[in-house]
Amino acid sequence: MLDTKTIRTREADVRRGLEARGANVDIDVVLALDEERRSLVTDVEALKNRRNVVSKEIGVRAKAGEDISGVKEDMRRLGSDISEMDARIQDIETEVGSILLTIPNIPHSSSPVGADAEGNTFVRSHGEPRAFDFEPKPHWDLGQSLGLFDLERAARMSGSGFPLYTGVGARLQRALIQFMLDVHSQEHGYTEILPPLMCNEEATRGTGQLPKLADEMYFIPSDGLYLIPTGEVPVTNIYREEIIEQPLPICFTTHTPCFRREAGAAGRDTRGLIRVHQFDKVEMVKFVEPETSYDELEKLLLDAEDILQRLGLHYRVIELCTGDLSFAAAKCYDIELWAPGHDGWLEVSSCSNFEDFQARRANIRYRGSDGKPRFVHTLNGSGVALARLYVAILENGQQADGSVVLPEAIRPYMGGMERIEPPV
């Protein structure tokens, strides 16, 4: 969340940032309300000081036998004025707070300026697309022929967009999750977390999902809880309303199911596992000092890339332009895997620096070198997301005989299995 001081003292930067995002936000309302509030605060403090002085005088004059009825009436009017002004200040703060929750983060100066995804820029790629001497199949055909998942039965249970993994298919999902958690926790220095899968309104507001993405989240009215759209929500909120007393950076990784109502517009991406309402994801979250947050972002990105490199997959890194950034991000990289059966790129990770945007909303602070509380910078990235990783492994590993060769890195988690064979 931006604060009124930032908007007031960096007005030109804020306007440029919001314009670059294409955000239709009227900060003039915020500035006007803030000016009114500051003026009222000055006036009411003066009245309160006057009340304190006169209150002392009343006691002295009363002891001296003077008539103080007129002064008491003035004090009653003064108290009424103070109450009205305090109430107006509170109303302004509530109104401004509500508006600030709808204003997106300001893009970092290094983020490319663009209106939409067409303005995203290529950073680098790894590997080469596999050459096939046969027509590669899409993953939904592979999954059906190999008995890895059953989308029709899943749809009878829950509707479209909810996968049902079966047999070796379920084991592959579990193996990929275990592999990623082991790499991040044992080699990349992250502490593994197993968080709740439902969060309250305050937690989802803290990371920026609310109010903007309310329609895309599953909500349980009777309990006032949201099914998490990403592990970022509960893990970032571990330190909500706290001052972190331990050294930074703090790095967490988690595996969670994720739940999202919005699963894409009609079209080919709605087939199979590419866009679903429930999917698994291994997430990385960092709490860092502001001075190091952009170095930590680059490390976060490399940690996500390392997973894909170990799996031998062809991918590219894209830097998002200002118009394609998420609501809370100041800078973001996407990692996309090549899926030959789908004949397209699939996003499997977004690595973002939110600077202090989430920390202000969730009131997460640490003590600087001077001992004074400061807002941390928060970062998060998928490390990485299923089911698109699953899709890429199937489509890139498929063979002409219908089998799928598994990446070497995952074989120990599959009991030494080297390939998934069609059932006899």
Model confidence at 374: pLDDT above 90: yes
Going by C-alpha positions, the residue among 306, 329, 301, 341 that lies closest to residue 317 is 301
Percent of the chain at pLDDT > 70 equals 98
Percent of the chain at pLDDT > 90 equals 90
pLDDT (tens digit per residue) in 54-73: 888 887 777 777 777 777 78
Q: What is the chain's percent helix, strand, coil content, to nearest 5?
A: 45, 20, 35
Say how far residue 245 (Cα) sits from the centre of its chain: 23
Query: How many CB atoms neighbour CB 115 within 10 A?
Result: 13
Assigned token pair, 95? 């109104």
Predicted TM-score (pTM) of the model is 0.93
pLDDT (tens digit per residue) in 391-410: 999 999 999 999 999 999 99
Per-residue pLDDT, 95 = 97
* Strand residues in 262-330 grouped as ranges (E): 278-288, 315-319
Q: In what order do the strands lie in the sheet containing 315-319?
A: 121-126, 315-319, 331-339, 344-353, 377-385, 278-288, 250-259, 191-193
What is the helix (H) or strand (E) element at residue 121, kind and residue range? strand 121-126
Per-residue pLDDT, 268 = 47
Domains of the chain: 4-100 (1.10.287.40), 117-420 (3.30.930.10)
Q: Residues of 338-365 as b/e, b for ≥16 C-beta within 10 angstroms?
A: bbbbbeebbebbbbbbbbbbbbbbbebb
Q: What are phi and psi of 60, to 5 degrees?
A: -65, -45
- Mean pLDDT to the nearest integer, 325-343: 97
Model confidence at 128: pLDDT above 80: yes
- Find the helix packing angle between 27-63 and 11-21, rounded to 10°: 140
Per-residue pLDDT, 60 = 76
